């Protein structure tokens, strides 16, 4: 069975380590905050200028001066801080953020990522995505393995405009956990009940399968 969006987020949460500063992108990545394992403390960075981002506010408590990078109202946790955009990207560019999780339209077996523009359809801008992918030490991509019409989104070359090149380290899709290595996509885990053959058949890029591939554990 392919994973739900929540399960993708839950699996990515297993990548968190105590003390990590983490930037979560819009969409599935935002859900990762709901599955931080017990006993682990992470600090969420929002690139519009906040460390220690907390949950959405209680009803009636929203503040127009406190939003996340997706422009949703949020709260700040004890120990949090606010700062300007250039300081925020100094944190990102300077390698101070331990883990970045973001979505993608397409990734390649070399770690290239396309996530911001569909020519003729969607021209909204890249926001902070290009800065994040170019500088983060550790990038995990949360995505669907295939498009709605069944085409692989794990490719040899991106068909859409790039966000960054050779930067993605790990992919958690609805079907598999994959590490991006010098030799291509290395299959690490498969979704419960999904066979290696099935994953192979929907992975256009080079897929490396070594030994027994375990099922993801939740």
User: Which pair of structure tokens corresponds to residue 114?
Assistant: 């396309």
Distance (Å, whole) CA 215 – CA 218 = 10
Residues 20, 36, 127, 179: which binds other proteins (CB under 8 A)? 127
Number of residues near other proteins (by CB under 8 A): 53
**How far apart are CB 58 and other proteins at their closest, in Å?**
6
Under rule CB under 8 A, residue 138 binds other proteins: no
In the block, which residue shows the tokens 């209680």? 58
Residues 64, 150, 193, 212: which binds other proteins (CB under 8 A)? 64
Residues 23, 144, 163, 203: which binds other proteins (CB under 8 A)? 163
**How far apart are CB 210 and other proteins at their closest, in Å?**
28
How many CB atoms lie under 10 A from the CB of residue 14?
15
Q: How far is CA 74 from CA 77, 123, 167, in A?
A: 10, 27, 29
Residues taking part in catalysis: 47
**How far apart are CB 23 and other proteins at their closest, in Å?**
12
User: Which pair of structure tokens corresponds to residue 128?
Assistant: 């902070």
Nearest CA to 164 out of 182, 141, 184, 185 is that of 141
- Per residue, what are the HEC states of 101-132? EEECCEEECCCCEECCEECCCEECCCCCHHHH
Residues 129, 142, 146, 207: which binds other proteins (CB under 8 A)? 129
* Interface of this chain with other proteins, residues 20 to 59, rule: CB under 8 A: 46-50, 55-59
Of the pair 135, 144, the CB lying nearest other proteins is at 135
**How far apart are CB 147 and other proteins at their closest, in Å?**
21
User: Which pair of structure tokens corresponds to residue 207?
Assistant: 């897929």
Footprint on this chain of other proteins (rule: CB under 8 A): 46-50, 55-68, 70-74, 76, 82-86, 88-89, 92-93, 112, 122-131, 134-135, 161-166
């Amino acid at each position: 069975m392919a994973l739900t969006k929540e399960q993708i987020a839950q699996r990515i949460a297993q990548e968190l380590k105590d003390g990590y500063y983490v930037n979560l992108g819009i969409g599935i990545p935002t859900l990762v905050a709901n599955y931080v394992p017990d006993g682990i403390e992470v600090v969420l960075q929002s690139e519009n200028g906040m460390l220690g981002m907390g949950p959405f506010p209680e009803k009636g408590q929203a503040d127009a001066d406190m939003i996340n990078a997706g422009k949703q109202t949020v709260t700040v946790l004890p120990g949090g801080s606010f700062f300007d955009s250039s300081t925020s990207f100094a944190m990102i560019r300077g390698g101070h953020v331990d883990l970045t999780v973001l979505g993608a339209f397409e990734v390649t077996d070399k770690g290239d990522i396309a996530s911001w523009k569909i020519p003729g359809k969607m021209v909204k801008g890249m926001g902070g995505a290009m800065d994040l992918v170019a500088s983060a030490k550790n990038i995990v991509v949360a995505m669907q393995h295939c498009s709605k019409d069944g085409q692989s989104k794990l490719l040899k070359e991106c068909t859409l405009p790039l966000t960054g090149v050779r930067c993605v380290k790990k992919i958690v899709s609805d079907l598999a956990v994959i590490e991006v290595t010098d030799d291509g996509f290395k299959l690490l885990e498969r979704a419960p009940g999904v066979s290696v053959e099935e994953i192979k058949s929907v992975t256009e890029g080079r897929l490396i399968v070594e030994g027994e591939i375990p099922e993801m554990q939740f």
